Amino acid sequence: MSNALKVELGRRYRFSASHRLHSPHLTAEENCRVFGKCNNPFGHGHNYVLEVSMSGDVDPATGMIANLADLDAFVERQVLEEFDHKSLNEDVSAFREKVPTTENLCIEIFQRLKSFPKAKLERIRVQETANNSFEYAGDNVEGNQR
C-alpha cells in the first residue's frame, strides 16, 4: 500500500441456512455426545449475520477504499447465492465431506471472499445465534497481504 490514508470498512449481510452437525468419522453415540441436539437427523436452521472487514487506501477521486455496490455484488455472488435458504450439508459442495460448523463456515466464506479485487479482506465474522459468533482472519494473515 502507498502512503495514502488506509481505512478499514465493515459491511454486514444476512442469510438463513440449515445444517446438521454430524461426522462420518464418529460413531452414532459419539456424534450425539459431541454435537447434542445439533446432530438431529433432520437438521436445524440459523439466521446468520456475516460481517466482512476490508481495508485499503482511500482513493482520492472517490473518497472510498471500495465501492459498496461492487462489494455487495461480490458477496451476493460468492456467498449469499450459494448459502441463503440452503441446506449446508446437502446444497453446498464444500460441506459434503466437512462438518458445517460455524468455524468451518467462517473458513469457507473467507476463502470465497479473499479474491475481492478492490480491497484487502481483513477478516470475517459470522454470528450464528445471539450467544455464538466466530471470526476468521485467514491461515496466514501476513500471507494475505496485497
Distance CA 130, CA 50 (A): 13
CATH topology for the 6-138 domain:
Tetrahydropterin Synthase; Chain A (3.30.479)
Question: Could you tell me the pTM of the whole model?
Answer: 0.90
Distance CA 85, CA 119 (A): 28
Per-residue pLDDT tens over the stretch 96-135: 999 999 999 999 999 999 999 989 999 999 999 999 999 9
Is 30 a known active-site residue? Answer: no
Is 85 a known active-site residue? Answer: yes
Can you give the residue ranges of every domain in the chain? 6-138
Residue from 81, 97, 128, 142 carrying the catalytic annotation: 128
Mean pLDDT (the chain) is 92
Is 128 a known active-site residue? Answer: yes
